[in-house]
Every structure is written in structure tokens, then in C-alpha cells.
Amino acid sequence: MKIIVTGAHGQLGRALCAHNGSRYEVIGFDSRALDICDPKAIDEKLKEVQPDFVFNAAAYTAVDQAEDDAERAYELNATAVGHLALACREYGVKLVHFSTDYVFDGMKSSPYLVDDQTNPQGVYGASKLAGEKLAGDDALIIRTSWVYDAHGKNFVTTVLKLLKERERLTIIADQIGSPTSTSSLAAANLSLSEKGAKGIYHVTDEGVASWYDFAVAVQEEALRLGLLKEEKQILPINTADYPTRARRPAYSVLDKSKTRDLLGEPFPYWRYQLRLVLKDLL
């Protein structure tokens, strides 16, 4: 099996290349090597590589910046996905597209099912929802949440940096979700792809946490591993105490029963995966 990974230099793209590369031929393209906003460039790469799958990890992910850069967010998260989907259908290639918990408004108090009503609260979520629709019914669409790894800029690496620089952190405690490592996401993606899944599936690590819980766990695990030398104070605050340009879902836990039923195996617990990611930093 031959796989193209777009956005190959991002944290998810790197994980997809690493996880799939041990079993299949993987060709990763960053935005300079393949501009997915350019239909001609997509057509040329599909003709050249002749892949079985395209894993689309390219995305506009700056949630707050998207509020003032809506045109670019929609171009990359929606229009470009339509270009990929059209080309994949023409050449008989299976498209796998990654989406987000931000397609929901966060008003539920129980995990979101794949067919629950979507209601994005900002440009980022709306552009990703538009991308889902343009990917089409024949694509595999994987929604996930709170993605991180040992590299790049994400919540875990940011918290570690701040814990080394400051004596005290304040972290939002009234937004609830499921932290998800890129390795978990890449593994589930491959399993779903191998089984020929299409339509929408939810993939996250097991368990739930607030951003505050997540930050406390990062410090505890980092201290245990010796990544941090001293414990710092982490204080919980409410969303209202830390206004941002874009509104975040207050509750964005995703129901994974459809995914578990197909794969026949549980997902790893988020705290266990966090420990593995931090060990990777060693």
C-alpha cells in the first residue's frame, strides 16, 4: 500500500509518516512540496505517486487567528479539501481527512455522537465542518480533540516551557475534553483505513480532563521523569477570566463507540499516553 501524507511537517503529519512508514510506502509532503490549495499540483502528485490513500493532515489550526483570517482558514480547511476529494475520486484514491471537536458548540453534558447536531462557534470550527462536507461520503473523516506530541507547539510543550520560566501558572478549569496523543491518533487512523472505513468516526484517547487537570498531570509526570526540577503552583481559573478571540467548546468529549465497535479494541488512557510522550522528550 502506498500513502501520501499532506502537512507532513506538522505534529500529526510527522506521526502519520512515522507510524505508517514501518509497514507501508509513505510519501510525505509539506506545503512547499504540495500546495493542497492548488488543484493542478494535487493532480500532478497523484499522477506521479499513484497512491492508494491520501491522509490529509494539512490544516489551518490557529483558532484565535482564524477569526481575523477567515478567508485563509476556509481556503485551507474547506476549499482545499474539496480539491483533494475531487482528485482522489478521479484517480480512485481513498481520502482520509482529519477534523475536530470544534464542530460542536460544547453545550452537551454527555459525549458527542458522530451524528449529533453540529454548531461550530467560531471560524476554525466552521471551516473544518465545511471541509467535512466537501470531503464527501466516500471519505474517511476522523474527528479528534486536544492533540499533542513531544514536538512542535502544543499544550504539553507550552506548559513544560512555562513551568520552567514561571513560579505560578493559571489554567482554565471549566473546559472539558479528551487529550489525545498523535501516536494514538495515527494508530487508530491506520486501523480504520485498513478496514475500509468511510464516513465520520471519533478518535481520542480514553478519559476526560479539564485543561487544568491536563496541566497538573504534565507537571506530575514531568517531575517523575526528571524533566522538571521543582514543582510550581498551578491555579484553576474560569474561561471568563481568560477571554480569547475565539470561543472554545465548554464540553467537547467525543463518543467513540462507533470506532470501538469497528476496531474491536479499547483506546489507551490519556494519562498513560502522556507519560509515553514525555518519555520521548528524554
166 in a structural domain: no
223 in a structural domain: no
Going from the C-alpha of 121 to that of each of 12, 75, 228, 244, the distances in angstroms are 24, 18, 37, 13
**Domain CATH number, residue 124:** 3.40.50.720
225 in a structural domain: no
Buried b (16+ CB within 10 A) or exposed e, 184-199: bbbbbbbbbbeeebbe
Predicted confidence at residue 140, as pLDDT, reads: 98
199 in a structural domain: yes
Q: For the chain, what is the domain count? A: 1
Note down the domain range covering 93. Answer: 2-152+178-206+253-269
Nearest to 254 by CA among 218, 211, 206: 206
15 in a structural domain: yes
pLDDT along the chain (282 residues), means of 10: 96 95 93 97 97 98 97 98 98 98 97 98 98 97 97 94 97 98 97 97 98 98 97 97 95 98 96 97 87
Active site residues: 124
245 in a structural domain: no
Q: Which amino acid is at 194?
A: E
Cα gap 225→232, rounded to integer Å:
16
Name the strand (E) or helix (H) holding 130. helix 123-135
Predicted confidence at residue 282, as pLDDT, reads: 85
Predicted confidence at residue 151, as pLDDT, reads: 86
Is 240:112 a contact under the CB 8 Å cutoff?
A: no
241 in a structural domain: no
157 in a structural domain: no
Cα gap 45→32, rounded to integer Å:
13
